[in-house]
């Protein structure tokens, strides 16, 4: 791969991904889009000539202190607290231990070893802030999700994000040299809800692996999953947690079958992903919901899938549903479209950017299962509409790529380095 010339490109970046490792399987627990983002951009950054060292908390005594993710990409496992037993909510108490571990790693290197710190999620941002001060390098921060935005659109029964997170995010926003937002809307949220300096925010859309996620033979994908060739297949892919609204899909399916008895013999619903979050909507709870709705015979719950197995799910589906209450972007929506499958998504956050309404899928306002059932039914009854959306979907997905994301990040890093004024940032007055 040729190297794009970007002046002030860092030689080596310390990436902080404290609460979840890019080596973990996404789609369960705390591992999701952020893991994919960090791994995909790090690989490409290294190929473009910027080395990446990813700092993450060791979640097992078995992991080595240092592991190679790809040429030029190192994962450093930092011991901070008991390995397995900690929940994400326990991690604010481990920031000091993690920070100390990261500083110790740097102290063993030549001076000026890292040119820049990029932190992902507010917990990493807190440590990134410290590293910035200690190492005298710029801090670029990506929030991935924001507590104030999340709390403004909670799923029913979901717990609000705690105040400690809101305060922590405010501090990081004030002290980072540059903030990376996935969308223009997220950039506005940073400015209006978190008082970010608009000049300090770069909009960098995430991407999709366009080599892995490609259209393919639907019949073959269905055979591989033991699905009938003429079935109507709906799929949900993602961490099973209230925020993602898997229950909305199940309730909509119940409604759909209530309206069209004929569909019961043909409809198949795949729910792919592992337990995550506050636990109310763990797969078992979803299985019980499917039972109580009388639709268990059409729903199949599948453990998290990866690689070709995940591609097979997207290809087998007529429609992929993303009924999230909040989504800072929604990589699943891009991946499904890249495979030629239209997406029916909630009109929230990044999904309104990822899905072109009426072109590559449909956006649904609200989470009323009746509305969702209506959209599914109208599409199921019009296979030619679904075929048209599916045909347009890969081009819509191709507007995004990890290569572009990576190049934009490198531009952002260069900008942060050029404008870095040492340690007299506006956030210095932050309490
Ligand atoms: N994912 C996966 N296997 C699964 C479910 C999800 O690899 O069984 C991946 C999926 O391909 C996507 C990521 O997890 O890349 C989820 O990202 P998204 O932005 O949709 O949601 P997030 O988890 O960040 O909330």
pLDDT at 431: 38
| Alpha-carbon span 369 to 382, nearest angstrom | 20
Question: Do the beta carbons of residue 41 and residue 47 sit within 8 Å?
Answer: no
354 C-alpha vs ligand 1 centroid, how far in Å? 14
Ligand 1, atom 8, lies closest to the CA of: 304
339 CB near ligand 1 (under 6 Å): no
Q: What integer pLDDT is reported at residue 4 of this predicted model?
A: 56
The two tokens of residue 39 are: 């791994």
Q: Is 245 in the pocket of ligand 1 (CB under 6 A)?
A: no
The reply to whether ligand 1 has any atom less than 6 angstroms from the CB of 305 is yes
Structure confidence at residue 85 (pLDDT): 78
**CB 349 near ligand 1, within 6 Å:** no
Residue with tokens 């893991």: 35
Per DSSP, the three-state class of 269 is: strand
The CATH-assigned architecture of domain 12-207+402-419 is 3-Layer(aba) Sandwich (3.40)
Determine the Cα–Cα distance for residues 337 and 245; give it in Å rounded to an integer: 20
Could you give the CA distance from residue 280 to residue 320 in angstroms, rounded to a whole number?
23
Reported pTM: 0.94
The answer to whether 280 is annotated as binding is: no
Bridge-based pairing of strands 12-16 and 116-120 is: parallel
| DSSP type of residue 156 | T
Residue 310, pLDDT score: 98
CB-ligand 1 contact for 33 (6 Å cutoff): yes
Q: What is the DSSP string of 26-61?
A: SSBTTBSHHHHHHHHHHHHHHHTT-EEEEEEE--ST
Residue 19 assigned to a binding site: yes
Please give the pLDDT value at position 421: 76
CA of 87 to the centre of ligand 1 (A): 19
- The pick from 332, 334, 336, 355 for probing ligand 1's pocket by mutation, whose C-beta has the most ligand atoms within 8 angstroms, reads 332
- Which pLDDT does position 254 carry in this prediction? 98
- Looking at residue 8, what is its pLDDT? 85
- Is 357 one of the annotated binding-site residues? no
> Residue 109 contacts by C-beta under 8 Å, 6 or more apart in sequence?
none
Q: How far apart are CA 243 and CA 157, in angstroms?
A: 10
| Cα–chain center distance at 150 | 14
Q: What is the ipTM of this complex?
A: 0.99
Task: Tell me which residue has its CA closest to atom 17 in ligand 1.
Answer: 33
> Which residues on neighbouring strands pair with residue 178, listed in sequence order?
140
β strands within 71-198, DSSP E? 73-78, 116-120, 139-142, 178-181
- 330 C-alpha to center of ligand 1: Å? 8
Selection from 230, 231, 244, 243 nearest residue 272 by Cα: 244
Three-state DSSP class for residue 155: coil
SS3 helix, strand, coil % of the chain, rounded to 5? 45, 15, 40
pLDDT beneath 50: ranges in the chain: 1-2, 280, 425-431
User: Rounded distance, CA 30 to CA 96, Å?
Assistant: 21
Which residue, 248, 238, 315, is CA-closest to 277? 238
Res 430: pLDDT:
41
Is 255 marked as a binding-site residue? Answer: no
Angstrom distance (rounded) from CA 333 to CA 344: 9
**CATH no. of 218-399:** 3.40.50.2000
Closest CA to 89 of 156, 165, 34, 144: 165
Length of the chain: 431
User: Which protein residue's CA is at the shortest distance from atom 21 of ligand 1?
Assistant: 33
Per-domain residue ranges for the chain?
A: 12-207+402-419, 218-399
Q: Is the CB of 69 under 6 A from ligand 1?
A: no
**Vertex 108: Cα angle to 107 and 113 (nearest 5):** 70
């Amino acid at each position: 791969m040729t190297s794009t010339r970007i002046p002030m490109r860092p030689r080596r970046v310390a990436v902080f991904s404290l609460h979840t490792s890019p080596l973990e399987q996404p789609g369960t627990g705390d591992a999701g889009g952020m893991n994919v983002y960090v791994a995909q951009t790090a690989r490409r950054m290294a190929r473009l000539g910027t080395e990446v060292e990813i700092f993450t908390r060791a979640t097992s005594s078995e992991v080595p202190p240092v592991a190679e993710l790809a040429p030029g990409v190192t994962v450093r496992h930092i011991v901070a607290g008991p390995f397995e037993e900690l929940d994400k909510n326990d991690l604010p108490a481990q920031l000091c231990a993690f920070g100390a571990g990261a500083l110790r790693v740097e102290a063993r290197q030549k001076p000026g070893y890292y040119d820049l710190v990029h932190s992902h999620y507010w917990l990493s941002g807190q440590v990134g802030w410290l590293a910035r001060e200690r190492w005298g390098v710029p801090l670029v921060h990506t929030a991935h999700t924001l507590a104030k935005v999340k709390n403004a659109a909670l799923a029913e029964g979901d717990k609000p994000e705690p105040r400690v997170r809101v305060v922590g995010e405010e501090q990081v926003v004030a002290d980072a040299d540059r903030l990376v937002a996935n969308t223009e809307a997220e950039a506005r949220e940073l400015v209006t809800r978190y008082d970010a300096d608009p000049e300090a925010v770069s909009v960098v859309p995430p991407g999709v692996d366009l080599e892995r996620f490609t259209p393919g033979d639907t019949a073959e994908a269905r055979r591989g999953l033991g699905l009938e060739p003429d079935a109507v297949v709906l799929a949900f892919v993602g961490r099973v947690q209230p925020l993602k609204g898997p229950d909305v899909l199940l309730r909509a399916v119940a409604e759909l079958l209530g309206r069209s008895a004929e569909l019961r013999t043909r409809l198949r619903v795949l729910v792919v992903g592992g337990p995550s979050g506050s636990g109310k909507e763990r797969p078992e709870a979803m299985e019980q919901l499917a039972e109580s709705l009388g639709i268990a015979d059409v729903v199949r719950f599948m453990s998290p899938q990866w690689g070709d197995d995940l591609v097979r799910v997207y290809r087998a589906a007529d429609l992929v549903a993303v009924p999230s209450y909040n989504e800072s972007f929604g990589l699943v929506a891009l991946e499904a479209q890249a495979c030629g499958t239209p997406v029916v998504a909630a009109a929230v956050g990044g999904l309104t950017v990822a899905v072109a309404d009426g072109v590559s899928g449909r956006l649904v306002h609200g989470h009323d299962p009746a509305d969702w059932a209506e959209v599914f039914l109208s599409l199921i009854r019009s296979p030619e509409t679904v075929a048209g959306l599916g045909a347009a979907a890969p081009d819509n997905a191709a507007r995004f790529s990890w290569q572009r994301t990576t190049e934009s990040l490198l531009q952002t890093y260069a900008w942060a380095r050029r404008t870095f004024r040492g340690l007299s940032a506006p956030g210095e007055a932050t309490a």
